């Protein structure tokens, strides 16, 4: 069911998560309110549906959503979520509600276990947040939902880092249990370790629940998908235009002289060429997961930075989607608007006509 329900999607990053840059600096109550009211509107949801996407992935920052002191959800972001649900119902788009961050979560913490996985009070808040969301949304988005006929899945946490390699399995099962005490049929999405790495899917401790499915992200090789990224010291330093298919031996040489980055690029650090053959090699773990686990799998993020040559980005995405579709793995493009990967820029203008045309044709 997951592939049919969440086949061709797109992320709404930058609205209720990663809003610091789009909202403008300095952040004030007024600038944040203006951002939350205007960055995504029903017009955007209508456009996404018209382009042929069948679902959105909605990232929401836990710091924004959940008040630890009051132990409850904050009204304003919850209202935005419910408003978006209404738009999706009107325009027949399913939704994945992604908790994109939470206190105690440390991105990339693969050297030592992060606080969310080791400190009981933080885990209590995490579970309480999901219980509260389950109460608020239990009347919306289940399989037999009569209020718009859409499906809403809960994604427990974005891009987990678990240095222990087993604590995330424990916490995610507790979260599923907390949701199931309130909502017995909700679809729930669980990500793999090491920032949703495809190489860590085999570390997931699978649960006997037909409404639970699993998630990875795919941006390999990042020297192509994140080339010249301003938010990456090594990509700014390397500063090379990379094509697809193409030669990445120069980055392999760069990593040998910058070993501090080897862990981050472990999947492709020894590769000299990237092409469909390498993509198939790296995705073998995903294909084996689908083949042998009996569980549904989903690629919650993929994309190419807007600094890459547009024609090369289209070729990379075309190969990726053909592999995912052949193995019934649903997917969501990162990103709809801004954040360096958007189909649209911050002003709502199309970034790459070539990429948009391909996505529309692929969605037919």
Which residue in the list 159, 234, 271, 312 is annotated as catalytic? 159
Contact (CB, 8 A) for 141 and 150: yes
Backbone angles phi, psi at 280, to 5 degrees: -65, -40
Q: Is 86 exposed, middle or buried (0-12, 13-18, 19+ CB in 10 A)?
A: middle
Contact (CB, 8 A) for 156 and 100: no
Chain centroid, CA 342 distance in Å: 14
Q: How many CB atoms lie within 10 A of CB 121?
A: 11
What does the alpha-carbon distance between residue 212 and residue 190 come to, in Å, rounded to a whole number?
7
Contact (CB, 8 A) for 125 and 71: yes
Which residue in the list 155, 234, 271, 301 is annotated as catalytic? 301
What does the alpha-carbon distance between residue 178 and residue 182 come to, in Å, rounded to a whole number?
7
Peptide bond into 221 cis (omega under 30): yes
Output the CA–CA distances (angstroms, integers) from residue 45 to 9, 69, 88, 166, 297, in the order listed: 12, 34, 7, 38, 25
| 353 labelled catalytic | no
What does the alpha-carbon distance between residue 220 and residue 200 come to, in Å, rounded to a whole number?
14
Terminal CA-CA length for the chain: 19
| 119 labelled catalytic | no
Residues annotated as catalytic are 159, 301
């Amino acid at each position: 069911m997951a592939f049919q329900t969440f086949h061709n999607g797109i992320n709404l990053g930058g609205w209720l998560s990663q809003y610091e840059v789009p909202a403008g600096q300095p952040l004030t109550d007024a600038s944040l309110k203006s951002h939350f009211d205007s960055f995504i509107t029903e017009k955007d949801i209508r456009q996404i549906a018209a382009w042929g996407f069948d679902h959105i992935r909605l990232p929401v920052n836990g710091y924004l959503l959940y008040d630890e002191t009051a132990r409850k959800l904050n009204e304003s972001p919850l209202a935005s979520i419910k408003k978006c649900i209404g738009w999706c119902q009107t325009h027949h788009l399913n939704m994945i509600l992604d908790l994109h961050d939470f206190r105690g979560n440390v991105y990339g913490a693969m050297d030592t276990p992060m606080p969310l996985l080791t400190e009981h009070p933080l885990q209590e808040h995490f579970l309480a947040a999901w219980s509260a969301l389950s109460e608020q949304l239990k009347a919306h988005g289940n399989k037999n939902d009569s209020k718009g006929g859409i499906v809403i899945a809960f994604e427990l946490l974005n891009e987990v880092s678990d240095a222990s390699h087993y604590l995330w399995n424990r916490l995610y099962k507790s979260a599923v249990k907390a949701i199931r005490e309130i909502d017995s049929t909700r679809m729930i999405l669980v990500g793999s370790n090491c920032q949703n790495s495809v190489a860590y899917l085999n570390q997931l401790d699978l649960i006997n629940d037909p409404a639970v499915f699993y998630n990875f992200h795919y941006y390999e090789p990042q020297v192509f998908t994140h080339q010249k990224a301003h938010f990456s010291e090594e990509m700014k330093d390397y500063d090379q235009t990379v094509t697809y298919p193409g030669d990445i031996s120069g980055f392999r040489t760069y990593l040998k002289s910058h070993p501090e980055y080897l862990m981050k690029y472990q999947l492709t650090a020894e590769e000299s060429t990237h092409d469909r053959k390498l993509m198939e090699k790296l995705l073998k773990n995903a294909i084996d997961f689908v083949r042998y686990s009996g569980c549904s799998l989903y690629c919650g993020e993929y994309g190419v930075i807007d600094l890459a040559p547009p024609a090369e980005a289209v070729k990379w995405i075309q190969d990726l989607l053909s592999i995912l579709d052949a193995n019934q793995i649903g997917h969501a493009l990162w990103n709809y608007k801004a954040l360096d990967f958007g189909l649209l820029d911050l002003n709502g203008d199309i970034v790459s006509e070539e990429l948009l045309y391909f996505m529309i044709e692929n969605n037919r």
